[in-house]
Structure 1
Amino acid sequence: MALTFAPEVAEALDAGRPVVALESTLLAHGLPSGRNLTLARGLGDAIRAQGAVPATIAVLDGAPTIGLSPDQLGRVCTESTALAKLSARDLGPAIALGRSGATTVAATSVLAHRAGIRVFATGGLGGVHLPAPGDATTWDVSADLGVLATTPLLVVCSGVKSVLDIAATLEVLEARSVPVLGYRTDDFPAFYLRSSGHPVPWRVDDPGTVAATVLAHREHATSGAVLANPVPPEHEMERTLHDRLLAEGLDRLRDTGASGSDVTPVLLEHFHTASGGISVATNEALVLANATLAAQVAVTLSA
């Protein structure tokens, strides 16, 4: 099925102007009602302030839509419970059946690449999940990693959430030839925290170097790339609070028996409710920072 483009996005792509893709799952399923729409508008403003065009992606009534109108953006933010969470595997069924859904990192990457967009800003990348209590290993690996291995797109994120197995996630990215760049940092960030304790293979310190690295990578590989941008220092979650919330969340997993795709939502819900809103504010701050950086890189790439 053909893609549906917002006029602003279509015009920018036709003219070779910079466009930044944004996911819709963050808005529909990741933030409280009201704050999600405020953030959605803020992301668009941040990207436009750098000279690029925002393109929030979703599937609406079976139409893969690249760039949402104000009404469509409001629909995604207010009808969140009615919207399916669409990964890459879900795009075909949702489109064929005329359903509506918010796109994850994996699904957004697929549609953004098909649309001709080269840069995508998000909060955190999916990764390898921690084993369930009593298990030695896990088969639960985010589709984000597989899609990045085959999709030449730059994903700007604040690493992965600390509720994941970060070491294993970095190993999978390496095995699938996805370069990981640390933006002005030597440490791979852990979403709420600026450092996960794991080093990044490569450090880059300005948008020009990022763009040059991405272009060089594309000459030799068909995989995507990750630009890991730590949460701004003033918005980093206090580590003792973070560690307490994580320990409590893991206890809750054991009590509820949650597994598979239910693990991350349970943990994040605990972070949101038990932190008194601190985790939501941190999430919003890092996504805005990532959108700004992604726009700067997209502008440089388009030049």
Structure 2
Amino acid sequence: MAPTQSTTNKGANFNCASGLVKISPAVSQALSQGKAVVALESTIISHGMPYPQNLKTAKEVEAIVRENGAEPATIAILDGMPCVGLTSEELERLATLGTKCQKTARRDIAHVVGIPVFVTGGIGGVHRYGENTMDISSDLTELGRTPVAVISAGVKSILDIPRTLEYLETQGVCVTAYKTDEFPAFFSGQSSCKAPCRVNSPEDCARLIDANLNLQLGAGILIAVPIPEKHSAVGSVIESAIQRSLKEARDKNITGNAQTPFLLARVNELTGGASLASNIALVKNNALVGAQIATCLAQLRQPKVTCSKL
């Protein structure tokens, strides 16, 4: 759920926002006109998938967002400048650099420029044995202080899902599941954890986000969308690979922000690519749902015109 940083950008064509953030012309125009915009992470490009699947997926995800009425805004830090909306060349640069890019923290760049909807694969969480290691993703703290709605496939089962949900509750984050009563576990629609609440349509999500913004509660919203059923059939195989990968990570003392990339890569190896196919499918589905939500929200927040009798 993070932007990534690269030092290889060569003068991209962006508009500047107060000289601190560069916004692509298409995103800037959409924001100024009150149209739907969906923020997209770049970590999935650099750290989530191997090349060339990462580039192909990034372009397909952006296309899905556009096809459903919203403008995609992939976020990355290039030459030390937060950029909102990337060119095809910049997407390719991130994809080819891969893990040579550095993962960064603060997740609220989208909020800074006024984008209320952020789509990702899965958020970070409390790592297993986190009660001893205190290894907790900053995603959770950021959700507690940034009023952005994050659309994800829940929390990866490589993490401690019950403790993650408890931590989100402590942070005051509204957690809801999309068209299901059970909180999804990334590769699987089931986690054995009941979702705190449920929403059944993009319109429901838009009203929830609108209320949160109007009340100025200050915290974010997590909308957990289960992976499409046809892509979750290999869930038990993936879960077995996850357990083996977790043991290998402990044996090799792989911790911190190096753990998740290692686990995802190892799980993909053990499942013969099945986990990567599922990952791509859920990201595309999240983009579809996120764009629908953003479009409904933009319509809901359009200025109301009132008429008076003369």
Instruction: Tell whether the structures are fold-level matches, with TM greater than 0.5.
Output: yes
Q: Distance in 1 between matches of 2:51 and 2:66?
A: 24
Return the alpha-carbon distance in structure 2 between the equivalents of residues 66 and 259 of structure 1: 30
* Offset at residue 84 of structure 1 (A): 1.1
Partner of 2:112: 114
Question: After superposition, where does 1:87-166 map in structure 2 within 5 Å?
Answer: 87-88=105-106, 106=107, 110-131=108-129, 137-166=132-161
Write the distance in 1 (CA, Å) between the matches of 2:148 and 2:191. Answer: 24
Aligned residue pair count: 280
CA RMSD in angstroms comes to: 1.3
2:193 aligned with 1:198: yes
CA distance in structure 2 between the partners assigned to 1:188 and 1:249 by the alignment? 23
Deviations 1:4-57 (A, max 9, x none): 111110100011100000000100111010111110110111001111000000
Structure 2 counterpart SS, 1:264: helix
* Aligned with 1:291 (options 287, 294, 305): 287
Q: Work out which of the residue numbers 33, 39, 59 in structure 1 matches 2:51.
A: 33
- Between Structure 1 and Structure 2, which shows a larger proportion of strand residues? 1
Which one has a larger percent helix, Structure 1 or Structure 2? 1
2:50/2:98 contact within 8 Å kept: no
> SS of the residue aligned with 2:296?
helix
TM-score of the pair, normalised by structure 2: 0.87
- Report the alpha carbon displacement of residue 63 of structure 1 after superposing the two structures with TM: 1.4
Q: Please identify, of 30-39 and 255-264, the stretch whose mean Cα deviation from structure 2 is larger.
A: 255-264
- In structure 1, what residue type is equivalent to 2:38? V
Give unmatched runs, 5+ long, in structure 1.
89-105
Of 75, 82, 89, 1:71 maps to 89
Runs of 4+ that moved beyond 6 A:
none
The aligned amino acid for 1:301 is: L
Q: Which runs of 5+ in 2 are unaligned?
A: 1-18, 300-310
Match of 2:98 in 1: 80
Pick from 53, 62, 74: which aligns with 1:56? Answer: 74
- Provide the secondary structure at the position in 1 that maps to 2:190: strand
Which digits, 9 at most, give the CA deviation of each residue in 1:130-164, with x for residues without a partner?
117xxx62311100011111100000000010010
Normalised by the length of structure 1, the TM-score is 0.89
Q: Residue type matched to 1:153 in 2? A: V
Q: What is the identity, as a one-letter code, of the residue corresponding to 2:123?
A: L
- 1:68-123 per-residue CA deviation (whole Å, 9 max, x = no partner) reads 011111111112233111112xxxxxxxxxxxxxxxxx3xxx11000110100000
